[in-house]
């Protein structure tokens, strides 16, 4: 198979490729560094990467892909038990590490290779890897058991990034800014491998800050990737930061993902900057499935339409497809296409359970779909679908309604057993003023007026903060714990 990164072999040696803080590599330097490292990796099936938000991680993953070897990104914040499980499950041949990094005991049994980002050597020779061969093994969050390793083939990375190039009009002229972690597909695949496949460049902030976003976008960057927590901070900061307003207003594309961006934050950013944030929808197992297109109609609260090559359908609880899309009927999203993972490593049972007999992947995400194909996610089947009074209700739309209340800073919605309704709707609120939180009746009336009476919360809990993971997603199981 040809390289996933044609620019490493093109006439672009002096073009900027990667920048992390004050450290950077051109395409020529990246080709030399990855070529030297790839030669050391070719005899392995899998290698682990200590995936810090540094230049070394990008070099290591690209070198592995150039060598035709699968990379296993490790979250440096993982606990010893989780790391031990991942390493025992994936059995990598060695561990690629930034020089000087201190490692926990859980990885002590692996051969350590320090990554030299200034390595010198020729461009890596074309590997014998095929489209269906493993490129990455990315572990899921493990909310319902030990993390599972989703095996992503080279085909999935290439087709997803090329489909996004079509949807977002993404070219080699684009400069991407982000501050996302690199052990997850959002930050690593989209945020690092995406620009490199296009022949463009990426400026990683190291750690997200609104000052960093303003600085890089005002210095010529054209795209910003973030998660809702980041865009919420941006929305909160805009009113008093003219440099940030200018930066976002001048960006070509603002993209949010990994969780739903509240409509309230969409509206605040658009009202202040004149720019709309577009959303896309994907998973570890599927990479990207849908997106609002750069040349399409932005619609706050939706994740757009299926990407080229992706088949998407909604199904009822019995698995029968929903055939008429009215923007109201809730169903589970199933997808099929070349963007999918091939298996959960060492878990044939889980792999078989994840797919239908005719090859559709069961995402576990619930959505509605408009007549023109736009998809709106309403939550996870396991935690966000509430069956109350005979209705199927998605937690996401209630959360958006709650966030429009001036007394609510953050909101999460869950269901709990109710002897009359089946389940009752529970709101978990971080109030703007902890000394004077909005009362249940006030919030219930607010939601009922915007949505429908049967969607109003019946219980409210006031919290100082909502539990979130590294990607900013609310951990709803922790709320009940």
65: its two tokens: 């892909």
CA atoms within 13 A on the CB side of 319: 8
- What residue ranges do the domains of the chain occupy? 6-191, 385-480
The yes-or-no verdict on residue 344 having pLDDT over 90 is yes
* Region 413-428 average pLDDT: 84
We find that the CATH architecture of domain 385-480 is 2-Layer Sandwich (3.30)
Average pLDDT over the chain, rounded to an integer = 91
Banded model confidence at residue 381, pLDDT cuts 50, 70, 90 = confident
The yes-or-no verdict on residue 145 having pLDDT over 90 is no
The yes-or-no verdict on residue 458 having pLDDT over 60 is yes
* Region 262-273 average pLDDT: 91
Least confidently predicted of 267-281, 304-318, 380-394: 380-394
Q: What share of the chain is helix, strand, coil (3-state, %, to 5)?
A: 30, 25, 40
Residue 15: the pLDDT is 93
CA distances from 41 to 34, 38, 52 (A): 10, 5, 20
The residues with which 312 forms a beta bridge, in sequence order, are: 335
Residues sharing a CB contact under 8 Å with residue 271, sequence separation 6 or more, in sequence order: none
Among 428, 434, 426, smallest CA distance to 466 is for 428
Residue 1: the pLDDT is 53
Q: Which residue has the higher pLDDT, 318 or 198?
A: 198
Banded model confidence at residue 196, pLDDT cuts 50, 70, 90 = very high
Share of residues in the chain with pLDDT > 90 (%): 69
Residue 189: the pLDDT is 98
Residues sharing a CB contact under 8 Å with residue 279, sequence separation 6 or more, in sequence order: 255, 256, 257, 260, 261, 291, 292, 302, 303, 304
Which pLDDT tens digit goes with each residue over 32-71? 999 999 989 989 999 999 999 999 999 999 999 999 999 9
Q: Which residue has the higher pLDDT, 381 or 106?
A: 106
Banded model confidence at residue 352, pLDDT cuts 50, 70, 90 = very high
Residue 253: the pLDDT is 97
Banded model confidence at residue 386, pLDDT cuts 50, 70, 90 = confident
CA 135 to chain centre: 18
In degrees, to the nearest 5, what angle opens at C-alpha 246 toward C-alphas 226 and 406?
65
Least confidently predicted of 2-6, 47-51, 343-347, 443-447: 2-6
Which pLDDT tens digit goes with each residue over 291-327? 999 998 888 889 999 999 999 999 998 899 998 888 8
3-state secondary structure of 325: coil
> What whole-number distance in Å separates Cα of residue 81 and Cα of residue 71?
20
* Region 96-106 average pLDDT: 93
Banded model confidence at residue 131, pLDDT cuts 50, 70, 90 = very high
The yes-or-no verdict on residue 370 having pLDDT over 80 is yes
Strands 201-204 and 134-139: unpaired
Least confidently predicted of 33-47, 83-97, 439-453: 439-453
In degrees, to the nearest 5, what angle opens at C-alpha 100 toward C-alphas 97 and 104?
65
39: its two tokens: 């030669």
We find that the CATH architecture of domain 6-191 is 3-Layer(aba) Sandwich (3.40)
Residue 23: the pLDDT is 96
* Region 186-202 average pLDDT: 97
* Region 195-204 average pLDDT: 97
Residue 312 in contact with residue 306, Cβ under 8 Å? yes
């Amino acid at each position: 198979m040809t390289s996933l990164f044609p620019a490493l072999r093109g006439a672009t040696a002096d073009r900027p490729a990667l920048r992390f803080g004050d450290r950077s590599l051109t395409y020529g330097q990246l080709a030399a560094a990855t070529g030297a490292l790839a030669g050391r990796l070719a005899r392995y099936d899998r290698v682990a990467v200590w995936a810090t938000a540094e230049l070394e991680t990008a070099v290591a993953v690209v070198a592995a892909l150039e060598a035709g070897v699968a990379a296993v990104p490790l979250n440096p914040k993982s606990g010893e038990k989780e790391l031990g499980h991942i390493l025992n499950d994936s059995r990598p041949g060695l561990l690629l590490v930034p020089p000087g990094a201190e490692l926990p005991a859980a990885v002590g049994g692996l051969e350590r290779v320090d990554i030299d980002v200034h390595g010198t050597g020729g461009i890596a020779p074309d590997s014998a890897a095929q489209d269906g061969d493993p490129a990455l093994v990315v572990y899921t969050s493990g909310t319902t058991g030990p993390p599972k390793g989703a095996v992503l083939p080279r085909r999935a990375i290439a087709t997803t990034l090329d489909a996004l190039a079509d949807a977002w009009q993404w070219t080699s002229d684009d400069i991407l800014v982000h501050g996302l972690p690199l052990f997850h597909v959002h930050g690593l695949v989209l945020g690092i491998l995406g620009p490199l496949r296009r022949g463009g460049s990426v400026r990683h902030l190291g750690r997200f800050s609104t000052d960093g976003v303003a600085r890089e976008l005002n210095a010529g960057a054209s795209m910003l990737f973030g998660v809702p927590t980041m865009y919420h901070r941006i929305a909160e900061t805009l009113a008093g930061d003219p440099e940030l307003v200018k930066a976002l207003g001048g960006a070509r594309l603002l993209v949010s993902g990994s969780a739903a961006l509240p409509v309230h934050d969409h509206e605040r950013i658009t009202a202040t900057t004149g720019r709309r944030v577009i959303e896309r929808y994907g998973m570890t197992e599927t990479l990207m499935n849908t997106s609002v297109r750069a040349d399409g109609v932005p619609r706050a609260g939706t994740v757009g339409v299926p990407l080229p090559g992706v088949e998407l359908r909604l199904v009822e609880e019995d698995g029968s497809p929903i055939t008429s899309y009215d923007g109201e009927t809730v169903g589970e999203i199933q997808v099929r296409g070349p963007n999918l993972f091939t298996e959960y490593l060492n878990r044939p049972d889980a792999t078989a359970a994840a797919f239908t007999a005719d090859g559709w992947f069961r995402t576990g995400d619930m959505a509605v779909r408009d007549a023109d194909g736009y998809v709106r996610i309403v939550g996870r089947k396991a935690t966000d679908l509430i069956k109350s009074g005979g209705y199927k209700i998605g937690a996401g739309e209630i959360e958006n309604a709650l966030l429009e209340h001036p007394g609510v800073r953050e909101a999460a919605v869950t269901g709990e057993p109710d002897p009359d309704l089946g389940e009752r709707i529970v709101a978990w609120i971080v109030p703007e003023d902890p000394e004077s939180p909005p009362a249940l009746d006030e919030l219930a009336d607010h939601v009922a007026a915007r949505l429908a009476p049967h969607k109003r919360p019946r219980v409210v809990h006031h919290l100082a903060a909502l539990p979130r993971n590294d990607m900013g997603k609310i951990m709803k199981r922790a709320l009940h714990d």
